Amino acid sequence: MNKGKYHYIWISLVILIFGIIFIPKIVNRFNEGTIVETDRMNVKDPADQLAYIILNGEKRKVPPFAFMNQDSLLITNEDYLGKVYVVEFFFTTCPTICPIMNRNLVEVQDEFREFEDFGVASFTINPDYDTPRVLKEYAEKYGITDMDWHLLTGDREEIYQLANVGFNIFAAQADDVPGGFEHSGLFALIDKEGYIRSRLDDFGNPIIYYRGTITEAQGTNIDGEEEQISILKTDIKKLLQE
């Protein structure tokens, strides 16, 4: 028998052994429905990954902060490490967008109530009035119960620096507007390492922040802008799984 025939015999034996050992296992996985589930869990679609916000070539991170919460406890950015959390800037006497924003966040709170690694950081832009006692009453009024939802107050200049420079979320005193303060109704989403994250838009650019002033039930506002609370919830889930 020549070498070619020996070669084909060995190939046949290898195929036979493979079939005897592995084919029954593959068949069992199909029958149990686990092959598709396992493979799907192991493959991550790049489109499902949330983008980092890049500034000057570096991933943008939450700056250090230290403020008092509604329970008069000192809370810093390090207290949020290991947690996915949402950041907002608001004030308790706001007559316009803040009530909508915080009702939306209470809805988010309730959806993620069972997750110990989820939280919210709400920074008041009127710290002279919004003392811990006032913030505590506000929390009770809105049903804020998550132990990792801190309503934060402190030095006025530090808060405005954090808003306008640290997050680039506009906040300012404005005596000519209702409530005396002007601010955007945006939410920032932070990952467990303290980086600002967001999904990409249809053009492949990060949306950066999420609209907090439109409810899911409303759908769109008078300007035709769509609500983003539903996608915020989806993206929180993605970061919790990272």
- Residues annotated within the binding site are 94, 98, 183
User: What's the rounded Cα separation, in Å, for the pair 52 and 49?
Assistant: 10
Report DSSP state, residue 203: T
206 near 200, Cβ under 8 Å? yes
Residues in the chain: 242
In angstroms, the Cα distances linking 236 to 84, 150, 187 are 7, 18, 12
**Exposure string over 37-50, b if 16+ CB within 10 A, otherwise e:** eeeeeeeeeeeeeb
209 near 187, Cβ under 8 Å? yes
Strand partners, 162: none
User: What's the rounded Cα separation, in Å, for the pair 107 and 195?
Assistant: 23
Annotated binding residues for Cu cation, written as ranges, equal 94, 98, 183
- The pair phi, psi for residue 114, each rounded to 5°, is -85, 0
According to DSSP H, which parts of 33-91 are helical? 34-42
228 near 214, Cβ under 8 Å? yes
197 near 53, Cβ under 8 Å? yes
